[in-house]
C-alpha cells in the first residue's frame, strides 16, 4: 500500500493526522464538549472518608499505585461527599479525575512501611480539614459528577485542533495530487499503447500492400 512514492506520502500524512486527531479528541474535544455545562456552586462537605490503619491490617481506603518496575504499592485514599448529593463522591479536577476512585490520594507511591504510616497520619489531618467545610464546586444539571476544580488550557487545545485541521487538509491535498498523477499516468500508458497498436496495424497494412504488389 505504501510502496510507491505517492502512496508513502499519503500514508505518512494520514498517520500524522490520526495521531493528532486522537490527541485532540482525548485531551480537548471530549473535555470541551461538557466544559460549559459545569457551573460554579457551593458545596458543604458532609462526609469525609479516610483510612484508619495501615493497609497490612485493612486495605479499605487505600488506592493502588505504581512505584516502579515490578513494584505496586498503596496510597491513602480520601473521599469527600457533600449536601448536594450524598451519594456522589466529589472528584478533584474536571474531566481529568472523571474516572478516579478517590477525591484525593495522599503522598508519593512508596513501598515502605514507615512512609505509609507517615502518609496515613498526614492524610487523616487533611481529611479532618474538610469536615463541615464549604468549598467551591462544579456540577451540571444532570449531576453527572461534582468537581472541586474546573480548568482547561483552551489556548493549547485550539492550537492542537488547528494543527489537526491543517494536517487533514494536507492529507486531502496529497491524496488528490496522487490521484491526479496516477490518473494521468494511466492515461498516458493507455495513449502510448493505442499509438503502438496503430503503428503496428499500419505496418501490417503496408506489408500486405507490398506483398500484393509482388504477386
DSSP sequence for 170-215: HHHHHHHHHHHHHHHHHHHHHHHHHHHHHHHHHHHHHHHHHHHHH-
Place of cell 481529568: 96
Which residue, 81, 180, 191, 177, is CA-closest to 130? Answer: 81
**Secondary structure (3-state) at 33:** helix
**Cell numbers given for 9:** 506520502
Distance CA 104, CA 102 (A): 5
Place of cell 444532570: 142
In the beta sheet, which residues pair with residue 146? 90, 139
CA of 37: how far to CAs of 99, 168, 169, in Å?
18, 29, 31
* % residues pLDDT > 70 (the chain): 78
Within 50-94, strands assigned E span: 62-68, 71-82, 89-93
Rounded to two decimals, what is the model's pTM?
0.66
Distance CA 62, CA 116 (A): 10
pLDDT in tens, the chain (215 residues): 555 555 666 677 677 777 777 877 777 777 777 888 999 999 999 999 999 999 999 999 999 999 888 899 999 999 999 999 999 999 999 988 889 999 999 999 998 999 999 999 999 999 999 999 999 999 999 999 999 999 877 777 777 778 778 877 877 777 777 777 666 665 555 455 555 455 555 455 445 554 555 45
Which residue, 25, 150, 151, 147, is CA-closest to 80? Answer: 147
Amino acid at each position: 500500500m505504501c510502496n510507491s512514492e505517492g502512496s508513502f506520502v499519503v500514508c505518512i500524512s494520514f498517520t500524522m493526522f490520526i495521531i493528532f486527531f486522537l490527541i485532540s479528541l482525548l485531551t480537548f474535544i471530549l473535555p470541551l464538549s461538557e466544559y460549559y455545562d459545569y457551573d460554579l456552586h457551593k458545596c458543604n462537605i458532609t462526609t469525609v472518608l479516610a483510612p484508619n490503619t495501615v493497609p497490612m491490617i485493612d486495605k479499605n481506603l487505600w488506592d493502588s499505585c505504581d512505584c516502579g518496575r515490578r513494584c505496586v504499592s498503596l496510597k491513602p485514599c480520601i473521599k469527600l461527599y457533600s449536601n448536594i448529593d450524598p451519594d456522589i463522591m466529589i472528584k478533584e479536577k474536571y474531566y481529568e479525575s472523571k474516572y478516579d476512585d478517590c477525591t484525593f490520594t495522599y503522598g508519593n507511591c512508596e513501598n515502605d512501611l514507615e512512609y505509609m504510616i507517615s502518609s496515613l497520619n498526614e492524610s487523616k489531618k487533611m481529611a479532618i480539614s474538610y469536615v463541615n467545610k464549604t468549598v467551591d464546586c462544579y456540577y451540571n444539571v444532570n449531576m453527572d459528577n461534582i468537581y472541586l476544580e474546573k480548568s482547561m488550557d483552551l489556548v493549547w487545545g485550539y492550537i492542537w485542533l488547528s494543527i489537526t485541521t491543517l494536517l487533514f487538509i494536507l492529507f486531502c491535498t496529497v491524496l488528490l495530487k496522487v490521484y491526479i498523477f496516477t490518473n494521468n499516468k494511466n492515461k498516458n500508458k493507455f495513449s502510448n499503447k493505442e499509438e503502438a497498436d496503430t503503428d503496428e496495424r499500419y505496418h501490417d497494412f503496408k506489408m500486405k500492400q507490398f506483398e500484393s504488389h509482388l504477386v
